[in-house]
Amino acid sequence: MENSLKKTALRMIPYGLYVLTAQAGEDKTAAAAVSWVTQASFEPPLVVVCVRVASFTHQVIQESGAFALNILGKEQGQLASTFFKPVVHEGNQLSGTVYRSGTTGSPILEGCPAYLECTLVGSLLEGDHTVFLGEVVDAGVQTEMVGRPDDHILWVKDLGEKIFYGG
């Protein structure tokens, strides 16, 4: 297999951008920008998110058994960039972004168009990421939507011609 062809083909998969959050106990709050996300079932409502094994977010999701997927809007590229770096947790803010605790205890970021809160129902460790399977136990839409809901989300390609994920 030619590596450049594999890389190009994998980069043709479209990716949205999200901020994955989790809370374990009083002192472990995690947040990270993620893009490997998809819905896996209608009934029960299930989503899949892939998280790098070596990350703090991975550890907190395993400990807490829950996570929130904060769905970023088209104009939130700068916010996504904030969560590509280690997060600073101060009071009710994660790297300067205000949050509230959701029903699972996971942080729900203010200003994101929507969120899904999930309890962990399964996982699969392969390669350098774990595939976490979460059952949606709460959801919210925080922004009025006009047209298709997926027209409002931030895609990796919205960050510019030189930004890719995958491959």
What pLDDT is stored for residue 160 in this prediction?
Answer: 77
Span 53-84, pLDDT tens digits = 999 999 999 999 999 999 999 999 999 999 99
User: Coil, strand or helix: which one is 165?
Assistant: coil
pLDDT exceeds 80 at position 166: no
Task: Report the C-alpha gap between 96 and 101 in whole angstroms.
Answer: 16
What pLDDT is stored for residue 62 in this prediction?
Answer: 97
Task: Report the C-alpha gap between 151 and 159 in whole angstroms.
Answer: 15
Instruction: Give CA angle at 53 (55, 76), nearest 5°.
Output: 50
What pLDDT is stored for residue 164 in this prediction?
Answer: 60
* DSSP secondary structure letter of residue 55: S
Query: Is the CB of residue 47 less than 8 Å from the CB of residue 55?
Result: no
pTM attached to this predicted model: 0.91
Q: Could you please state the CATH topology (level 3) that the domain comprising 15-159 is classified under.
A: Pnp Oxidase; Chain A (2.30.110)
Query: How many H-runs (helices) and E-runs (strands) does the chain carry?
Result: 3, 11
